[in-house]
Amino acid sequence: MAELAVEQTLDLGDYLSAFRRRRGMILLVAGVIFLIGLIAAMAWPPTYQASATILIEEQEIPTELIQSTVTSYAAQRIQIISQRVMSRTNLLSVIEKYNLYERDRRLHTIEEVLVDMRDDISIDMVNAEVMDPRTGRPTAATIAFTVGFKSDNPQQALKVANELTTLYLDENLKSRTEKAAETYDFLSVESSRLSEEISRLEKELAEFKGRNLTTLPESRDLNTSILERTDREITDLDTQLRGLEERKVYLNGQLAVLEPYGSGDVLSPSARLDALRTQYISLASRYSPDHPDVIQVKHEISALELETGQAASPDALQAQLRTLREQLATARETYTDEHPDVKNLTRQIARLEQDLQQASSRPTTSLPTATPDNPAYISLSTQLEAAEAEIRSLRTKRTQLVDKVGEYENRLVQTPKSEQEYRGIVRDLENSTRRYQEIRAKQMTAEVAQQMEKERKGEKFTLIDPAILPEEPISPNRGAIIFLSLVLALGAGVGSAAIGESMDSTVRGAKGLTMILQTAPLAVIPYLTSAAETSKHKRRRYLLVAAVLAGVILLLLLVHFLGTPLDVMWFKGLRKVDQLVGE
């Protein structure tokens, strides 16, 4: 508590007394530290930096007319170019060309030298607020950038800065030209590939059409119309066949009532027998065997057969059976089994088959054949033969038409399957053609953009502020180092004095004595200096003044040679005074 009380009662005189006692230590420590800082400021080698400014100019031709193939942002493109410029090959070439880092190359590896060089190269972007044409909002855009290089030799800094600037300009032009060329080459290859694909699809389509000419989708209407026309032709043929069959029946009836020999109109028993047989076949197809007309005609036939001795010939019955079967087959192609005509023909065939069985079981009698000479009979026979020939022709034609209908129906059945494959080929061909047209349009645009880049009409780097020889170093800041050294020296001196004073247990003055004795002294005898001590104090005072003057002179010299010359500072000061007076 006593010490705290004493410390709390220290006044300015106590501090001055301590300063006088420790001034030697303070000056020594401060002098040494200041001298070290001064030597460091003087010995620190200067570093010079040369910088060039490159402007990023927009393309001269409006983008609405020609779109450039280089679409990356300027800052991104600068970073990419920086990586190419600062490649190992380029940096080694610059180092060898200007003999950079000669001492470091002897003491360190190439990789360490390259790291130092990359650290000495500086790239600074120059941004500005511009209006984005896409959004209409202000945005930051890179409009220029600076390329700098630091070196302890101003000439080397200037040369390397110019070399780096040239590399950036050349690399930008090279990269833009290469990218435009790569884009054009890629589009050319893609265009050739699509052209070959289109040729292949066209060949495939032509081969498909050749294989499926009759089942193509565009042939559907033609096949349908031909099928309908063929159906109408078959219907017409059926109508003609029915008419001819009726005519044949009529002619057979007429022949039945005529004698083939002579020219009379009275029927002979043989003619009457043939007529009754034909009538019997017709009645048997319409009525049952118990019908009175059928029984009457059958009895008449039996009586005439006994009278003429001409039983029904199996050959004649077989011929009539073939004719009826042909008529039945024709009718079934047109009608169902429930149709009256089909039923009548079926009954006639059944009756005729029974008669054929009965005739086969009876002994046959052969009559001598003679050539008919009745003109009417010959005329009807000729008409009947013509009708039969026309019936055979129409039936042959009808068979052909039926086959044709089956063929065209098969074509229509196969059309959907062919259409699916056909549509797939056509769709691929249309897609390839559309892509080919798009690629060709882009290829033409890329070709124009490539020519624009060759003629340097697109976005380009322009050197607007070339590097100049640096006159002042950028580091070190000798004035700041000296000032900091001075502040540190004063602080270290005062601190050393404070430490020495706190560690000193010497009793000084009445306050120290009072603290020890716990009582105040009766009287204080002041210190009496001798003549030698007075002379010593004067010499010290002179030395201190000389040291201060020497320090001031040294400081002025440092400012003059390391900072701003004194005459310049003098004129600046006068100009400032004049400005203040003028205001």
Q: Which residue has the higher pLDDT, 556 or 370?
A: 556
What φ, ψ does residue 336 adopt, rounded to 5°? -90, 175
pLDDT at 2: 40
pLDDT at 295: 73
In sequence order, what DSSP letters do the residues of 521-580 get, joined into one string? Answer: -S--PPP---HHHHHHHHHHHHHHHHHHHHHHHHHHHHHHHHSS-HHHHHHHHHHHHHHH
Mean pLDDT of the 512-526 span: 70
Residue 186 is assigned to a structural domain of this protein: no
Residue 136 is assigned to a structural domain of this protein: no
pLDDT at 131: 62
Question: Does 575 score more than 70 pLDDT?
Answer: yes
Residue 540 is assigned to a structural domain of this protein: yes
Question: Does 472 score more than 60 pLDDT?
Answer: yes
Residue 331 is assigned to a structural domain of this protein: yes
pLDDT at 5: 41
Residue 218 is assigned to a structural domain of this protein: no
Instruction: For the chain, give the number of residues.
Output: 583
Mean pLDDT of the 566-582 span: 71
pLDDT at 367: 44
Tokens of 97: 């060309």
What count of other Cβ atoms lies within 10 Å of the Cβ of residue 285?
Answer: 19
What count of other Cβ atoms lies within 10 Å of the Cβ of residue 193?
Answer: 14
Question: Among 158, 167, 149, 140, which residue's Cα sits nearest to residue 81?
Answer: 167
Question: Does 310 score more than 50 pLDDT?
Answer: yes
Range of the domain at 267: 259-373
Residue 1 — very low, low, confident or very high, per pLDDT cuts 50/70/90?
very low
Q: Distance between CA atoms of 298 and 279, rounded to whole angstroms?
A: 10
Question: Does 379 score more than 50 pLDDT?
Answer: yes
Question: Does 466 score more than 80 pLDDT?
Answer: yes
Mean pLDDT of the 402-429 span: 81
Sign of CA dihedral 413, 415, 421, 423: negative
Residue 54 parent element (H or E): strand 48-57
Residue 59 — very low, low, confident or very high, per pLDDT cuts 50/70/90?
low
Average pLDDT of the residues of the chain: 75
Mean pLDDT of the 315-326 span: 69
Q: pLDDT digits over 380-391, tens only?
A: 778 878 888 888
Q: Distance between CA atoms of 25 and 41, rounded to whole angstroms?
A: 24
Q: pLDDT digits over 60-87, tens only?
A: 655 555 555 444 566 778 888 888 888 8
Note the pTM of the prediction, 2 decimals.
0.49
pLDDT at 482: 77
Edge-to-edge order in the sheet of strand 48-57: 121-131, 138-151, 48-57, 460-465
pLDDT at 71: 47
Number of domains comprising the chain: 2
Question: Does 308 score more than 70 pLDDT?
Answer: no
Residue 135 — very low, low, confident or very high, per pLDDT cuts 50/70/90?
low
In sequence order, what DSSP letters do the residues of 183-214 get, joined into one string? Answer: HHHHHHHHHHHHHHHHHHHHHHHHHHHHHTGG
Q: Distance between CA atoms of 252 and 380, rounded to whole angstroms?
A: 8
Lowest mean pLDDT among 7-16, 118-127, 178-187: 7-16
Domain boundary among 344, 373, 402: 373
Tokens of 559: 């400012």
Question: Does 15 score more than 70 pLDDT?
Answer: no
What count of other Cβ atoms lies within 10 Å of the Cβ of residue 276?
Answer: 22
Mean pLDDT of the 512-532 span: 71
Strand positions, DSSP E, 120-206:
121-131, 138-151
Residue 500 parent element (H or E): helix 478-503
Mean pLDDT of the 507-519 span: 68
Q: pLDDT digits over 321-371, tens only?
A: 777 777 777 777 777 777 777 777 787 777 777 767 766 665 544 444 445
Residue 90 is assigned to a structural domain of this protein: no
- Burial state string for 522-535 with b = 16 or more CB within 10 A and e = fewer than 16: eeeeeeeeeeeeee
Residue 203 is assigned to a structural domain of this protein: no
Lowest mean pLDDT among 163-172, 192-201, 482-491: 482-491
**HEC-encoded secondary structure of 323-385:** HHHHHHHHHHHHCCCCCHHHHHHHHHHHHHHHHHHHHHHCCCCCCCCCCCCCHHHHHHHHHHH
Report, in this order, helix, strand and coil percent for the chain, each rounded to 5. Answer: 70, 5, 20
Question: Among 41, 10, 17, 15, which residue's Cα sits nearest to residue 488?
Answer: 41
Domain boundary among 340, 373, 406: 373
Q: Is 127 helix (H, G, I), strand (E, B) or coil?
A: strand
**Residue 142 DSSP one-character state:** E
* Percent of the chain with pLDDT strictly greater than 70: 70
Question: Does 89 score more than 60 pLDDT?
Answer: yes
Residue 496 is assigned to a structural domain of this protein: no
**Residue 387 to residues 36, 180, 377, Cα–Cα distance (Å):** 144, 87, 15
Residue 269 — very low, low, confident or very high, per pLDDT cuts 50/70/90?
low
Domain boundary among 305, 340, 373: 373
Mean pLDDT of the 485-513 span: 75
